[in-house]
């Protein structure tokens, strides 16, 4: 998609923010999104021929259970609309510094908490019978797989290894789980029995990263994401084939990054999320397994799709600092209006369950989350009436180690939690905290939030030291960045494997193409365990900022390492909490009128002589 040419005129920052807000709302509604073009698919249809020598469990194909009927209503103008889903969503949402499990039904069940402990529960998957929830948790210090039995509110531990185990997917008969595990510096997919711990089979062993498996309801195919072709693509593992014919690339889209495959209840269609790095748009595409040579068609904007039992799709709409839940029919009609979730999501599943909720989870659902930080302000005697003060931050190294008094407690709480999650005090030494007005930051940064005392920037040298990785995320025409910090313990007890390819700013040096693009993607995903600072910071009120429009040629304009605490204020209002209005006024330069200068005679100048006629003798004849 061709980007519009930008004007050379400068737009005032408050107006610019208003325009960005309006465009963001349009983006969330899906009104201005265009599908990412995918090339025609050429993959051969997966073979259904049985192969008894394949070392995988022989499962009896079990199709989806009887579908719940959905009521189709009509609008006053006679147009048919699809009713909201009647099943239950199970989500992993950020809350109180951790990810907890929640249940939600648009018709019958408000957002209900299922877990509320001081650890993370992620990537839930509902069993085919609707009675158990498989998920990954680090409650024992390492990431292992667990079963939450909804009928009894009890747990069963499935794995007990220091390796990272997550993203489970059920076999149609509910006897096996496919999941991702971190082995030998890379992600692979394993299959294990739910009841027999000795039945563990390695499905993939490629040096590339193989993640997020999705087991087909027909039983003999598992879709997953792999970068074995050089970039993240959708692959299918055929359990009835061996050798090189076992794995098939079905997306074949060099212009996009695929993620989170999901099979339809009948196994005839496969949906996934696709991001176009040029346009910054993320959409849901559906591939027809019965016609594999046809190109996948675009359904709507979103990420992490899940199928509803009536053939519709639910998805997450990811904004820079917010997450929404929405849904589409297969034709693209919205059947679930975007609903704001209370925190970032780390997994979602959907299905019908016979268990009445909250039921045994009633006490957990009533749990009041603990406040992560204190917003109360202690009056400072040095502050002027109606103004706020800047407080020194204990133990902070920065050119001016001060912050706005209303954000100091939040910063210190975030700093403590980051140190716990990573094993080192990453926020102890900053590039900048508060910056006074007498210290210019650079062109285009005259209204930066560092002047308000409500922002900080991490030391960019951490990237060169391999202690920080930056992942590019585009939302329409705006570019944002996600910050990952490397953990000190690389045994699986801290952080999780990084599955996204970071952005390489240093590639600008010596490469004209990379210089014009502001860098390029790194050659590969860095190994080891990393911690998502951006996801945690949002819970403490710290949000990221979009890069300036000229960030590709202006390194400081990328603002990849800056986090701000706005409390809903705009920049001018935040500045008026510290400074008088006069300090924000830009003086107008008055140019005196132009006059024609008159020569001033000087005493040493001699007037120019005037020529006079000289008499000449006349010849007399």
Helix (H, G, I), strand (E, B) or coil at 388: coil
The CA distance from 547 to 550, in Å, is 8
Report the pLDDT value the prediction gives residue 598, as an integer from 0 to 100: 65
The CA distance from 102 to 112, in Å, is 5
Name the least confident of 156-170, 378-392, 402-416. Answer: 378-392
pLDDT at 25 over 50: no
Report the pLDDT value the prediction gives residue 406, as an integer from 0 to 100: 93
Report the pLDDT value the prediction gives residue 231, as an integer from 0 to 100: 83
For residue 271, which of 308, 296, 301 has the smallest C-alpha distance?
296
pLDDT band at 324, cuts 50/70/90?
very high
Distance of CA 166 to the CA centre of its chain: 19
- The residue whose two tokens read 């087991």 is 215
CB 170 within 8 A of CB 127: yes
What structural domains does the chain harbor? 22-65+88-363 (2.120.10.30), 390-583 (no CATH)
pLDDT digits over 252-262, tens only? 877 788 999 99
Report the pLDDT value the prediction gives residue 369, as an integer from 0 to 100: 86
Average pLDDT over residues 583-596: 68
Give the DSSP H/E element, type plus range, for residue 584.
none
131 or 26: whose pLDDT is higher?
Answer: 131
Report the pLDDT value the prediction gives residue 619, as an integer from 0 to 100: 65
Report the pLDDT value the prediction gives residue 583, as an integer from 0 to 100: 81
The CA distance from 389 to 399, in Å, is 18
Report the pLDDT value the prediction gives residue 194, as an integer from 0 to 100: 95
Measured in degrees and rounded to the nearest 5, phi and psi for residue 558 equal -70, -35
DSSP β-ladder status, 132-137 and 478-486: unpaired
Range 44-62 burial, b when 16+ CB lie within 10 A, else e: eebeeeeeeebebbebeee
pLDDT at 65 over 60: no
The CA distance from 323 to 342, in Å, is 8
Report the pLDDT value the prediction gives residue 381, as an integer from 0 to 100: 62
pLDDT at 36 over 70: no
Q: Does residue 409 come out as left (phi exceeding 0), alpha (psi in the -120 to 50 range) or beta?
A: alpha
pLDDT digits over 220-264, tens only? 999 999 988 888 899 999 999 888 789 999 988 777 889 999 999
- Residues forming a β-bridge with 520: 504
For residue 498, which of 467, 454, 519 has the smallest C-alpha distance?
467
pLDDT at 73 over 90: no
pLDDT band at 497, cuts 50/70/90?
very high
pLDDT band at 604, cuts 50/70/90?
low
The CA distance from 346 to 115, in Å, is 14
Report the pLDDT value the prediction gives residue 230, as an integer from 0 to 100: 81
Q: pLDDT > 90: what percent of the chain?
A: 59
CB 99 within 8 A of CB 122: yes
Whether the ω angle into residue 498 lies within 30 degrees of 0, i.e. cis, is no
Q: Could you write out the DSSP letters of every residue in 588-615? A: PPPPPPP----PPP-TTPPPPPPP----
Percentages (nearest 5) of helix, strand, coil residues in the chain = 15, 30, 55
The CA distance from 343 to 99, in Å, is 9
pLDDT at 512 over 80: yes
The CA distance from 239 to 50, in Å, is 9
**For residue 535, with 0-12 CB atoms within 10 Å meaning exposed, 13-18 middle and 19 or more buried, which class applies?**
middle
Q: Could you write out the DSSP letters of every residue in 484-508? A: EEE-S--SSSSSEE--SPPEEGGGG
- Residues forming a β-bridge with 444: none
Which range among 16-25, 28-37, 131-140, 303-312 has the greatest average pLDDT? Answer: 131-140
Report the pLDDT value the prediction gives residue 508, as an integer from 0 to 100: 87
pLDDT at 450 over 70: yes
* Dihedral sign for Cα atoms in the order 217, 208, 40, 258: positive
Measured in degrees and rounded to the nearest 5, phi and psi for residue 338 equal -55, 125
pLDDT band at 30, cuts 50/70/90?
very low
Report CA Rg, the chain. 31
- The residue whose two tokens read 């409500």 is 454
Report the pLDDT value the prediction gives residue 525, as an integer from 0 to 100: 86
Helix (H, G, I), strand (E, B) or coil at 93: strand
Quote the pTM value: 0.80
The CA distance from 520 to 122, in Å, is 31
Average pLDDT over residues 195-202: 92
Supply 93's token pair.
């949402």
pLDDT at 122 over 90: yes
Supply 1's token pair.
């998609």
pLDDT at 74 over 70: no
- The residue whose two tokens read 């249809």 is 45
CB 261 within 8 A of CB 271: yes
């Amino acid at each position: 998609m061709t980007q519009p040419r930008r004007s050379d005129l400068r737009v005032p920052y408050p107006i610019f923010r208003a325009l960005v807000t309006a465009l963001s709302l349009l983006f969330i509604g899906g009104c201005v999104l265009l599908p990412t073009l995918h090339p025609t698919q050429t993959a051969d249809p997966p073979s259904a021929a049985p192969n008894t020598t394949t070392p995988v469990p022989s499962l009896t194909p079990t199709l989806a259970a009887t579908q719940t009927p959905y009521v189709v209503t009509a609008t006053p103008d006679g147009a048919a609309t699809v009713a909201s889903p009647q099943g239950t969503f199970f989500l992993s949402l950020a809350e109180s510094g951790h990810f907890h499990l929640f249940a939600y039904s648009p018709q019958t069940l408000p957002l209900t908490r299922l877990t509320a402990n001081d650890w993370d529960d992620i990537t839930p998957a509902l069993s085919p019978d609707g009675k158990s929830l498989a998920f990954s948790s680090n409650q024992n210090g390492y990431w292992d797989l667990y079963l939450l039995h909804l009928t009894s509110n009890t747990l069963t531990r499935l794995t007990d290894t220091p390796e990272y185990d997550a993203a489970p997917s059920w076999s149609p008969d509910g006897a096996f789980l496919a999941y991702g595990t971190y082995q030998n510096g890379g992600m692979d997919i394993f299959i294990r029995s739910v009841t027999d711990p000795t039945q563990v089979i390695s499905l993939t062993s490629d040096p590339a990263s193989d993640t997020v498996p999705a087991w087909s309801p027909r039983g003999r195919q598992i879709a997953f994401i792999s970068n074995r072709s050089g970039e993240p693509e959708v692959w299918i593992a055929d359990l009835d084939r061996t050798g090189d014919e076992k794995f098939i690339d079905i997306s074949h889209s060099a212009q996009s990054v695929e993620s989170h495959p999901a099979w339809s209840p009948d196994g005839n269609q496969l949906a996934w999320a696709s991001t176009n790095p040029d346009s910054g748009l993320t959409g849901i595409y559906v591939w027809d397994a019965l016609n594999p040579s046809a190109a996948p068609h675009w359904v709507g904007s979103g990420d992490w799709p899940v199928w509803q039992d009536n053939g519709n799709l639910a998805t997450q709409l990811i904004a820079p600092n917010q997450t929404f839940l929405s849904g589409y029919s297969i034709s693209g009609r919205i059947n679930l209006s975007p609903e704001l979730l209370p925190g970032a999501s780390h997994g979602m599943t959907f299905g019908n369950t016979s268990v009445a909720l909250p039921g045994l989870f009633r006490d957990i659902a009533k749990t009041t989350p603990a406040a992560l930080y204190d917003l109360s302000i202690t009056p400072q005697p040095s502050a002027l009436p109606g103004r706020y003060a800047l407080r020194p931050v204990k133990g902070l190294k920065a050119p001016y180690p001060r912050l706005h008094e209303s954000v100091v407690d939040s910063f210190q709480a975030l700093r403590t939690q980051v140190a716990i999650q990573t094993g080192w005090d990453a926020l102890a030494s900053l590039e900048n905290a508060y910056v006074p007005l007498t210290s210019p930051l650079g062109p285009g940064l005259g209204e930066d939030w560092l002047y308000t005392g409500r922002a900080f920037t991490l030391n960019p040298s951490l990237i060169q030291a391999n202690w920080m990785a930056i992942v590019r995320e585009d939302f329409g025409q705006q570019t944002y960045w996600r910050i990952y910090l490397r953990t000190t313990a690389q045994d699986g007890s801290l952080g999780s494997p990084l599955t996204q390819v970071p952005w390489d700013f240093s590639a600008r040096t010596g490469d004209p193409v990379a210089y014009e693009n502001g860098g390029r993607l790194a050659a590969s995903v860095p190994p080891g365990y990393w911690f998502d600072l951006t996801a945690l910071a949002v819970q403490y009120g710290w949000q990221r900022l979009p890069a300036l429009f000229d960030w590709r040629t202006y390194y400081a304009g990328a603002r990849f390492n800056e986090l701000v605490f706005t409390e809903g204020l705009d920049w001018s209002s935040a500045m008026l909490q510290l400074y008088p209005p006069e300090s924000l006024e830009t003086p107008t330069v008055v140019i005196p009128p132009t006059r024609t200068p008159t020569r001033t005679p000087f005493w040493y100048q001699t007037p120019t002589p005037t020529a006079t006629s000289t008499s000449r003798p006349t010849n007399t004849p």
